[in-house]
C-alpha cells in the first residue's frame, strides 16, 4: 500500500486552496455578471421610449406599436433570468423598462370611469364579422346593450335583413351605406357616405357610383339630441396582413386613415364621435391623422386596456370609440357575440362628470 508523505499532503492541500482562490477571484462579481441581460433591459426600455422613431419599413414601426403594451411581458422574463444569474447590473437596468412602461401604460391599469351620474348618450360599435354564424343572436345582444346609437361594420347583404329585423323595435332610425350602418333611437339627418379611398388609382376612379357605394366602408350622419346636433362617423378601415415576404402590410388601412383624417379636419361640428373598426390601436402612428383630432374613450374613462380582437383571446384594441367636444363618463367592452371582434360601448355627456371618489356636501 502506498502512503503519501505528510509534506506531500500539505502541498496538495495548499495547491487546492490556491486553485479555489484563483477561481473565486476570476469569477465576476454581481455587478459584472449578466452584461447581455443588462443590455437587453436597456434595449427594451429604448424600444418602449422611442417606438415612434422605429423605422416603418415593412411597417415595422406600426407592428411594434400595435402590440406595444405586451412588451411589458419581457420584464418578468428578464427578471427571472437576472435572479438566476444573480446579476445586480441586470436588476438595476430593469428599472428603466419598468419606469417607461408605467409612464406609457400605467394610467390604463384599473378603472378610470366616472360617477357623475348617468350619461347623456350611450354609443356602441361592433364589427359583426362577415362570416358571423348567428347574426340574429348578435342583433338581440346588441339591442339589449341599451345603447342609444349603435354602429355596425362589415355588414353583408345576406345578413343585413337579420340585423334590420332584430334592431327595428329598439332603433326606429337607421342608415346603411355599403358595408357600414348606424342604428339610432334618435332622428338622423345629413347622412352621406365618406370617401376613404377604398378604390385608389385609375381603375377605382372608373367605377360607377353604385358599384362604389356597395363596398363603401364609412359614413357620416347627424344625430339629433336634446342638447343639439352630434356628428357621428362610422368607419371600417382596410385590413392589415402579416406577410412572410412583405412584412406587415398596411397599405389600404393607411390610405383609408389619411382620407378619414382629412374628412374629420373638414368637419365643422364641435361635437364629433367616431365609431369603427380602424384596424389599428390608438398608439399606431398610421392613425395619427385621426387620433390627433379625437380622444379615445377607452383611454379617458375605460377599465383596463379594453382589447377587442380576436374575440377568443383579445390582444389589441382595434375597435374604437373616439370623441371630440363631449365628455366620456365610461367605456366598456361587451360580451362576445358570434363575431370575431368584441363590441365596445361608451357613455358620453355634454358637461364634465365628477371623478370617481368625488363627494359634495
Q: Answer whether 327's CB lies under 8 Å from 227's CB.
A: no
CB burial string 63-98: b at 16+ within 10 A, e below:
bbbbebbebbebbeebbebbeebebbbbbebbebbb
- Report d(CA 207, CA 231) in Å as an integer: 29
Written as tens digits, the pLDDT of the chain (361 aa) is 545 566 666 776 766 666 665 554 445 666 677 899 999 999 999 999 999 999 988 889 999 999 999 999 999 999 999 999 899 999 999 999 999 999 999 999 889 987 666 899 999 999 999 999 999 999 999 999 999 999 999 999 999 999 999 999 999 999 999 999 999 999 999 999 999 998 775 555 556 666 667 889 999 999 999 999 999 999 999 999 887 666 788 999 999 999 999 999 999 999 999 999 999 999 999 999 999 999 999 999 999 999 999 999 999 999 999 999 999 999 999 999 999 999 999 999 997 644 444 333 3
CB atoms within 10 A of CB 198: 21
- Report d(CA 286, CA 293) in Å as an integer: 14
Beta bridge partners of 241: 249
SS3 state at 142: helix
- Report d(CA 265, CA 289) in Å as an integer: 9
Residue from 235, 35, 249, 266 nearest 154 by CA: 235
Amino acid at each position: 500500500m502506498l502512503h503519501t508523505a505528510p509534506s506531500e499532503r500539505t502541498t496538495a492541500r495548499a495547491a487546492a486552496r490556491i486553485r479555489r482562490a484563483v477561481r473565486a477571484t476570476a469569477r465576476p462579481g454581481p455587478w459584472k455578471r449578466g452584461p447581455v441581460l443588462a443590455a437587453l433591459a436597456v434595449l427594451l426600455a429604448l424600444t418602449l421610449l422611442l417606438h415612434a422613431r422605429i423605422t416603418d419599413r415593412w411597417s415595422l414601426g406600426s407592428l411594434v406599436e400595435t402590440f406595444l403594451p405586451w412588451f411589458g411581458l419581457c420584464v418578468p422574463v428578464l427578471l427571472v433570468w437576472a435572479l438566476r444569474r444573480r446579476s445586480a447590473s441586470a436588476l438595476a437596468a430593469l428599472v428603466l423598462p419598468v419606469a417607461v412602461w408605467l409612464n406609457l401604460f400605467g394610467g390604463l391599469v384599473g378603472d378610470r370611469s366616472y360617477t357623475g351620474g348617468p350619461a347623456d348618450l350611450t354609443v356602441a360599435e361592433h364589427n359583426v364579422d362577415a362570416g358571423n354564424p348567428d347574426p340574429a343572436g348578435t342583433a338581440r345582444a346588441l339591442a339589449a346593450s341599451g345603447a342609444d346609437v349603435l354602429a355596425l361594420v362589415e355588414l353583408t347583404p345576406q345578413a343585413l335583413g337579420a340585423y334590420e329585423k332584430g334592431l327595428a323595435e329598439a332603433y326606429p332610425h337607421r342608415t346603411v351605406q355599403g358595408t357600414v350602418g348606424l342604428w339610432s333611437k334618435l332622428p338622423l339627418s345629413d347622412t352621406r357616405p365618406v370617401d376613404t379611398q377604398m378604390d385608389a388609382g385609375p381603375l377605382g376612379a372608373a367605377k360607377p357610383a353604385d358599384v362604389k357605394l356597395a363596398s363603401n366602408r364609412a359614413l357620416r350622419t347627424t344625430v339629433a339630441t336634446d342638447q343639439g346636433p352630434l356628428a357621428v362617423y362610422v368607419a371600417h378601415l382596410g385590413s392589415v396582413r402579416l406577410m412572410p415576404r412583405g412584412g406587415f402590410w398596411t397599405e389600404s388601412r393607411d390610405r383609408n386613415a389619411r382620407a378619414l383624417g382629412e374628412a374629420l379636419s373638414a368637419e365643422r361640428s364641435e361635437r364629433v364621435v367616431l365609431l369603427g373598426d380602424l384596424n389599428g390601436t390608438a398608439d399606431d402612428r398610421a392613425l395619427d391623422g385621426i387620433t390627433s383630432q379625437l380622444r379615445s374613450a377607452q383611454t379617458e374613462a375605460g377599465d383596463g386596456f379594453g382589447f377587442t380582437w380576436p374575440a377568443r383571446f383579445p390582444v389589441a384594441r382595434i375597435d374604437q370609440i373616439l370623441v371630440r367636444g363631449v365628455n366620456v363618463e365610461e367605456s366598456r367592452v361587451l360580451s362576445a357575440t358570434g363575431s370575431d371582434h368584441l363590441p365596445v360601448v361608451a357613455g358620453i355627456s355634454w358637461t364634465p362628470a365628477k371623478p370617481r371618489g368625488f363627494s359634495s356636501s
